[in-house]
Structures are given as C-alpha cells and as structure tokens.
Amino acid sequence: PARPRVFSGIQPTADSFHLGNYLGAVRHWVALQDSHDAFYCVVDLHAITAGHDPKVLKQRSRVAAAQLLAVGIDPERSTLFVQSQVAEHSQLAWVLGCITGFGEASRMTQFKDKAQKQGSERASVGLFTYPVLMAADILLYQADAVPVGEDQRQHLELSRDLAQRFNTTFGPTFTVPAPHIVKDTAKITDLQDPTSKMSKSSSSPAGIIDLLDDPARSAKKIRSAVTDTGREIVFDAVGKPGIANLLSIYSALSGRGIDDLVAAYDGKGYGDLKKDLAEVVREALTPIQERTRTYLDDPAQLDKLLAQGAEKARVVAAATLRATYDRIGF
Ligand code: ADP
Ligand code: NA
C-alpha cells in the first residue's frame, strides 16, 4: 500500500529557524519521511500577510529551505518546495474561501490575537484568510496527516470542515486530513522569559537560540538564561520553568531522558548544567550550520533543487485543482 501522505509548511519570516522550531516541528518532519510520503513547503505566501520586506523575503526562503535540507529533509524521498512557485495554492484558496463562512473565519483566535497586536484597522484581509490558504495547502496534496502544534489546531479543524463541506456539496474530492500529534514534543520556552514559548516575536534576542547562532553566542545565551533562586536541578515546569526548559533542550538534543539527566546532575549546580548544555547545543548545531552554509554557498544549485521540488508538487496540485474545477463547473 502507498505510504500515507503528510503535509507541513513553515514560514520564512526570520533569518534563521530557532531551537523551538527545530525541536517542536522540523525535527519531526525528518523522522516522518521514514513512514510517510512527505510534502514540505516554505510558505512564503503566508509570510506576506503581516507586512514584509521584499529585499529579504527571497533570501529568507532560501535560508529556510537550506536549513530544512541541512537538518535532513531529503529531496529524493520528500517533496520540498516554495509555496509561491506552485500557483495552485492561491487558486484553490479562492475556491475554498467561497465555501468558508465569514462568521466561521471570524472565530479564528490566531487572527484575533494578531490583528489586535497590529491594530485591527491595519490587519490585512490576507491575514484574515490565512487559514483558508492553509486549508488549500493541505487539501491540494490530499494529505492524510498534518503535524500541528497547539497554535495551529483550530486552523487544521477548519481545513477538515472545508474538506468535508466541499465533498458533501460537490462530491468526493478531498482527503480529510487528520492531525498528527507528535508525542514527547518538547515545548521550548524563552531563555529570558521561561514561562513564554521561544518565539521569533520574542522581545529579547537573548531569549532565542537560533539554529545559526555560533557556539560562542549560544553559550552566552545559555549562561545568562533566567533560572531561579534555588540550587536543586529537578524538573518542575511550574516552580522552576527555567531549569525545566534547559533540561528539555538538553534531553531533546542529547537523547538522554529527563530522569537520567536529573540523576546525573544531583548535587551539581546550575552553572554545571549550563556549561554542559552549551556543549550539547554546539555539538548538535555545528553540523547543521555547516550543511546550511554549503547549500547557501551555491544559490543557483539550491534554486534548481527547489524548482525541481515545485515541479513535483505541481503534478499533484494540478490534478487536485482540475478535479476541484470539474466539480464546481469550471
Ligand atoms: P514562531 O512562534 O517563532 O513565530 P512559528 O509560529 O513560525 O514560530 O512556528 C513554526 C513551527 O515551529 C510550528 O510548528 C510551531 O508549533 C513550532 N514552534 C514554534 N515555537 C516553538 C516552541 N517554542 N516550542 C516548540 N515548538 C515551536
Ligand atoms: Na507563531
């Protein structure tokens, strides 16, 4: 039987992925290649919904793709591409937008949060319809599974509703995608504000470890990570969120269990933990950084690889769009 299909996308909205993106999302994408027919997309159409700089967008898309390749996305086994190179995403999004209720879209909490932050008069219609485009991304590839974090659950629910609604109204066309929940996904928090998640929109750059941070820089951030006034190294996400976060990162990057780490650091100090974690981070990130640089050093080759990915994606996307158009009378 054919392997189940998985789709996931990531926005090129920063100069590097951070450790939260890697441990919470992208690393699982790599593992899913063993069991799934994977479509992975750098979603640059989504990246223009809240304002952007044209001069940096293309390079950020390249960096995102280079990092995905560097962590182990294999373009031979998986389809890796840039969203704007496959026009069918926008085309299907229009159709899906026409079966989405205005009230239904208005209930998306992420839009409400982001629009409030921007000032609701300034928030774009694109930001409002972002979840419809996301549904198109997923449904175009007839994805069976979509790895999602908590923040995207409501959007995936909309994708499922739209697939079912279309199928019921016009005839079976789309696979209804299921959420792929990754067990033991480390929730990585901000080093300076350990009760908030590590995020590119964090207020302090010292709170985020970028995948491309050199070892001295990441070591410095880990050294100055906010902890607590205690001295015991135990895992307590509520009482000791800073230490819990350092242990989570350590465990995720080294493969050692939290209990094993807690036992190993019994009687040792926060400084010891931070020093060793800096080394673990260096060991994990150095090869990724070297491979990322290799891809970025040859942009023509990288662009060619992405063009081939888009070609592969388009074959599937065009077939789905054609079937959709047939259903609705185009
Ligand atoms: P950001 O929060 O920096 O804007 P995105 O929203 O672009 O990151 O997230 C891209 C992917 O990385 C999503 O799948 C998201 O769930 C995951 N992710 C982001 N931050 C974290 C984090 N701190 N811990 C775990 N996963 C995260
Ligand atoms: Na986010």
Give the pLDDT confidence score for residue 168 in this predicted structure.
98
User: Percent of the chain at pLDDT above 70?
Assistant: 99
Going by C-alpha positions, the residue among 46, 48, 208 that lies closest to residue 133 is 46
pLDDT at 172 over 70: yes
Average pLDDT, the chain: 96
> Can you tell me the mean pLDDT for 97-123?
93
Give the pLDDT confidence score for residue 328 in this predicted structure.
98
Is residue 82 within 8 Å of residue 94, measured between CB atoms? Answer: no
Give the pLDDT confidence score for residue 230 in this predicted structure.
95
Query: From ligand 1's centre to the CA of 176, what distance in Å?
Result: 24
CA distance linking residue 9 with residue 142, whole number of Å: 15
Report ipTM for this prediction.
0.93
Residue of the nearest CA to atom 8 in ligand 1?
199
Give the pLDDT confidence score for residue 203 in this predicted structure.
82
pLDDT band at 186 (very low <50, low <70, confident <90, very high): confident
CA distance linking residue 157 with residue 178, whole number of Å: 9
Query: From ligand 1's centre to the CA of 164, what distance in Å?
Result: 28
- Taking CA atoms, 152 is separated from 8, 43, 155, 319, in Å, by 11, 14, 5, 27
Give the pLDDT confidence score for residue 146 in this predicted structure.
97
| Widest CA span in the chain | 72
Taking only the tens place, the pLDDT of each residue in 45-84 is 999 999 899 989 999 999 999 999 999 999 999 999 999 9
Taking only the tens place, the pLDDT of each residue in 292-317 is 999 999 999 999 999 999 999 999 99
**Residue positions in the annotated binding site for ATP?**
11-13, 20-21, 149-151, 188, 197-201
Place of tokens 């080759």: 301
Q: Which ligand is nearest to the CA of 202?
A: 1
pLDDT band at 205 (very low <50, low <70, confident <90, very high): very high
Q: State the first-to-last Cα distance of the chain, in angstroms, to the nearest integer.
A: 33
Residue ranges of alpha helices (H) inside the chain are 19-21, 27-32, 54-71, 88-97, 102-106, 109-118, 125-140, 153-170, 215-223, 241-254, 258-264, 270-296, 299-328
The first and second tokens of residue 261, run together, are: 């780490």
Give the pLDDT confidence score for residue 156 in this predicted structure.
96
Give the pLDDT confidence score for residue 6 in this predicted structure.
98
Give the pLDDT confidence score for residue 250 in this predicted structure.
98
Give the pLDDT confidence score for residue 1 in this predicted structure.
66
User: Percent of the chain at pLDDT above 90?
Assistant: 91
pLDDT at 124 over 70: yes
The first and second tokens of residue 161, run together, are: 């509703």
Q: Which ligand is nearest to the CA of 24?
A: 1
pLDDT at 201 over 90: no
Report the catalytic residues.
114, 197, 200
> Can you tell me the mean pLDDT for 87-114?
96
Give the pLDDT confidence score for residue 144 in this predicted structure.
98
Query: From ligand 2's centre to the CA of 168, what distance in Å?
Result: 32
| Index of the ligand 1 atom closest to the CA of residue 202 | 3
Running DSSP on this structure, what letter comes out for residue 210?
Answer: B
Query: From ligand 2's centre to the CA of 148, what distance in Å?
Result: 12
CA-based Rg of the chain, rounded to a whole angstrom?
Answer: 21
The first and second tokens of residue 194, run together, are: 């350990």
Q: Which three-class secondary structure state does DSSP give residue 81?
A: strand
- Taking CA atoms, 165 is separated from 87, 93, 94, 288, 326, in Å, by 23, 14, 15, 42, 16
Going by C-alpha positions, the residue among 314, 326, 276, 291 that lies closest to residue 67 is 291
Q: Which residue type is seen at 28?
A: H
| Index of the ligand 1 atom closest to the CA of residue 8 | 14
Taking only the tens place, the pLDDT of each residue in 233-276 is 999 999 999 999 999 999 999 999 999 999 999 999 999 999 99
> Can you tell me the mean pLDDT for 135-142?
98
Give the pLDDT confidence score for residue 121 in this predicted structure.
86
**Residue positions in the annotated binding site?**
11-13, 20-21, 137, 149-151, 188, 197-201
